[in-house]
Amino acid sequence: MKAIVSSLLSRPDEIMLEIGASGELAVARLRAVIAGILLLLPLTNMLGGGSIDENLIGLAGAVIVNVISQVWLALARRRRHFRWLPFVTTVFDVSLTTLVLVLLASYHLPAALNSLIVWCGYLLAILLTALRSDGRVTLLAGAMALAQYGLLILAVFSIAQSPEELISTDYGTVTSASQWQRLILLAIATLITTMVVYRMQQLVQMSGTDGLTGLPNRTWLIHRMPRLFEAADIDSSSLTVALINLDHFRRLNDEMGHGGADRALQDLVGLLNGLVDSGEWLARVRGDEFVLILRKPIGTAWERVDALRRIVADHSFEPDRSSEPIRMYFSAGLACYPNDGRSLSALLRRADRRLQVAKRSGRNRVVLREE
């Protein structure tokens, strides 16, 4: 339970934020469509015989909501994501619902508390936070909806001079029991949405993690790289991709069996993981192949990867107590962003060519150019 709460309250990792940003765009599009439909309401009201004043106020409100929705949509479309956007738009969605309920109260008190369709705006605002994949946004939506609607209930009950004012032929009788039910429903919707977000975070984490070593996998790398490229572009720095392949791993499999070779692989990853610094990301992309991303130009990255290679070569691995310690070696090819390519696949192709040079020249070495 503690783990669930702390995961929901902490900032999601970069991949979840990326998924959340596309969810924010989906919500922004939906909001823009709903806002467009709102423009039709004053029209239908007019056809139904509503007063001119009422329709003008309705039209002005719908236009304002449309303008703001278009602003949120434009911001959600931007390549550079604003981390604050889901929080602000969620507060907007909840507060807009409250605003409409307040307007209803000024026209007819029971309408504010017994209108089902407008109150559903809170439920929608809470449920749509599931697409933002951020537990903090969902909890904010739930807390805001409960606080705002709770205050509205208190205000309406204190404004009503007599119980008759809370009885309506169109909206029925406002009772405290039905209002408690609505508050409880909002809390339940928040809880369910929070669990959906938590499950989604877990599934994304699972799909981006290699089962044997616990390292990020290729899927993780594919989703993470665009942000790293963007960060490198912003501060005009370089990124180096090192493609690391174990030497003669097949032989290890033959000698120790698959289980022993698996344990050796886990030992090696444990060693490398302990050595990886901030500004470096290690992922397992294939059987005995890893990618190390370094926020360094290629020359400095070569020195770093070569130092890692020497540490690995000097280390003895003990897959189990009964077997002899073994040595493992790796070869690596490097490619640099942006000089060697501007996409992950281009960089990996380049790094692979250099890795093949390392293999052909005798293995246990790091290569940064083809010849």
Residues that bind ligand GTP (CB under 6 A): 212, 245-251, 253, 258, 261-262, 265, 287-288, 359, 363
Q: Of 291 and 336, which has the nearer Cβ to ligand GTP?
A: 291
d(CA 176, CA 182): 10
Q: Which residue has the tokens 């073994």?
A: 326
How many residues does the structure list for the chain? 371
Count of other CB atoms within 10 angstroms of residue 284: 24
Token reading at 19: 């998924």
Q: Of 13 and 262, which has the nearer Cβ to ligand GTP?
A: 262
Q: Of 49 and 362, which has the nearer Cβ to ligand GTP?
A: 362
Token reading at 250: 């097949």
Q: Of 261 and 269, which has the nearer Cβ to ligand GTP?
A: 261
> Which phi and psi (to 5°) does residue 265 adopt?
-65, -40
Q: Of 241 and 265, which has the nearer Cβ to ligand GTP?
A: 265
d(CA 117, CA 151): 19
d(CA 120, CA 111): 14
Residue 31 CB, nearest approach to ligand GTP (Å): 46
| Residues 83-95 as b or e (16 or more Cβ within 10 Å = b) | eebbbebbbbbbe
Rounded to an integer, what is the distance from CA 240 to the centroid of its chain?
25
Q: Of 248 and 349, which has the nearer Cβ to ligand GTP?
A: 248
CA distances from 210 to 149, 242, 297 (A): 45, 18, 28
Q: Of 201 and 213, which has the nearer Cβ to ligand GTP?
A: 213
Instruction: Report whether the peptide linkage leading into residue 338 is cis, meaning its omega lies within 30 degrees of zero.
Output: yes
Q: Of 349 and 359, which has the nearer Cβ to ligand GTP?
A: 359
- Asked if residues 209 and 216 have their Cβ atoms less than 8 Å apart, the reply is yes
d(CA 268, CA 6): 31
Q: What stretches of the chain show up as alpha helix (H) in DSSP?
A: 2-9, 14-47, 52-77, 85-107, 109-114, 116-128, 135-159, 176-207, 218-234, 249-275, 298-314, 344-360
d(CA 263, CA 267): 6
d(CA 90, CA 298): 43
Q: Of 72 and 249, which has the nearer Cβ to ligand GTP?
A: 249
Residue 72 CB, nearest approach to ligand GTP (Å): 46
Q: Of 98 and 253, which has the nearer Cβ to ligand GTP?
A: 253
Q: For ligand GTP, which residue has the nearest CB?
A: 287
CA distances from 202 to 1, 19, 61, 105, 346 (A): 14, 13, 41, 43, 31
